[in-house]
């Protein structure tokens, strides 16, 4: 069984593992009954939090979760979902505007077959939409009883602080949690995000503690074919020919040897590392099969020694993300050249 930890300052207790539903549906496991069995197994093991999003398999993940929680399970589960990404083809069916939030929440409530969502999360920042617009809409949904708490996912520290300021100065509901990427291979949030969350009393629910599968135990030097199946979709993160991914593969080899020395699976080492940070509330695991779930459940009982943690720090230094593509979000100030260059057209001499 898993332990339970405070969900920020809300008074809610979350299991130290959250079941992520990203791999349920056509994107991962299309068998609805199998997905339901996985969810029920997780709940039976003491996991009381389930996380999904409207974009996961175009809403199919939410449907599977809704089926699994029918028949009396819903009341005992802390149910989280997210909005922001493109759902459908219409240009308005996305984003962080009041217009879309009000429609997106109704769609999620219908697919989840529930009257309320415990944690409704902004899936990514949208700098061109006033954050107060977003928080104002979400605050109205809290007052209407359709959502209980507001969270963010993969926000930069400045945006996290801005959300707290808006709530205080403009009377909005406060953001109570952040869901960032965090693993041994992607430790960038240790620099500012985690300290900021601690300072403001936010719960932290990291995604991808297995680094997108790099820390699953399947990826070792000489087994590049395993990685290349994902390289077709996300080459920046998974193509082993890229230098940043080659660096990850070398680190995985060292971490595998360390796990063997410690008498642990690499999976348990990786998840236990994330759970051992004092800012972390619950780590999201995203199994595609029941076997995946079983391989991850025991990680909640593992405590890494200071010596093992020091060895991890030597392999991947604190605050380091080996491949910037694993950061989960790059702001337009970096990705859009027009935002970095003056509009003047001075003649070069």
Closest C-alpha to 153, from 79, 103, 203, 114: 203
**Helices H, strands E: what count in the chain?**
13, 10
3-class SS of residue 179 = strand
State both tokens at 130. Answer: 């006033």
Is residue 16 within 8 A of residue 283, CB to CB? The reply is yes
**Structure tokens belonging to residue 61:** 């993940």
> For residue 64, what are the contacts with CB-CB under 8 A and spacing of at least 6?
21, 24, 25, 32, 35, 36, 39
Alpha carbons 272 and 278: distance in angstroms, whole number: 12
**Is 329 annotated as catalytic?**
no
User: Which of the following is catalytic: 56, 120, 149, 182?
Assistant: 56
Residue with the two structure tokens 């410690």: 262
Measured in whole angstroms, how far is the alpha carbon of residue 48 from the centre of its chain?
Answer: 17
> Who contacts 260 (Cβ-Cβ below 8 Å, separation ≥6)?
none
Active site residues: 56
């Amino acid at each position: 069984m898993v332990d339970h930890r405070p969900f920020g300052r809300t008074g809610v207790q979350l299991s130290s593992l959250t079941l992520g539903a990203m791999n349920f549906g056509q994107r991962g496991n299309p068998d609805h009954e199998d997905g339901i069995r996985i969810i029920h197994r997780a709940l039976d093991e003491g996991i009381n939090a389930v996380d999904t999003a409207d974009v996961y398999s175009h809403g199919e993940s939410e449907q599977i979760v809704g089926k699994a929680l029918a028949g009396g399970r819903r009341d005992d589960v802390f149910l989280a979902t997210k909005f922001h990404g493109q759902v459908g083809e219409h240009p308005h069916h996305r984003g962080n505007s009041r217009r879309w939030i009000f429609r997106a929440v109704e769609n999620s409530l219908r697919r989840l077959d529930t009257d309320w969502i415990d944690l409704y999360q902004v899936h990514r920042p949208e700098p061109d939409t006033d954050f107060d617009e977003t928080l104002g809409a979400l605050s109205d949904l809290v007052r209407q009883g359709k959502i209980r708490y507001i969270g963010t996912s993969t926000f930069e520290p400045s945006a996290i602080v801005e959300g707290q300021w808006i709530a205080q100065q403009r009377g909005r509901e406060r953001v109570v949690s952040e869901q960032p990427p965090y693993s041994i291979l992607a430790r960038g949030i240790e620099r500012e995000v985690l300290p900021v969350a601690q300072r403001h009393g936010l719960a932290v629910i990291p995604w991808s503690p297995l680094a997108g599968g790099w820390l699953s135990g399947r990826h070792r030097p000489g087994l590049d074919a395993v990685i290349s199946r994902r390289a077709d979709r996300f080459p920046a993160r998974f193509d082993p020919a890229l230098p940043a991914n080659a660096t990850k593969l070398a680190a995985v080899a060292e971490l595998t040897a360390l796990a063997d020395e410690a008498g642990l699976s690499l999976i348990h080492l990786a998840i236990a590392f994330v759970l051992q940070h004092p800012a972390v509330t619950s780590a999201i695991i995203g199994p595609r099969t029941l076997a995946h779930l079983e391989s991850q459940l025991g990680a909640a009982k593992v405590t890494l020694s200071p010596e093992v943690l020091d060895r991890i720090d030597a392999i991947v230094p604190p605050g380091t993300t080996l491949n910037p593509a694993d950061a989960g979000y790059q702001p337009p100030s970096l990705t859009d050249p027009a935002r970095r260059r003056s509009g003047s057209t001075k003649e070069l001499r």
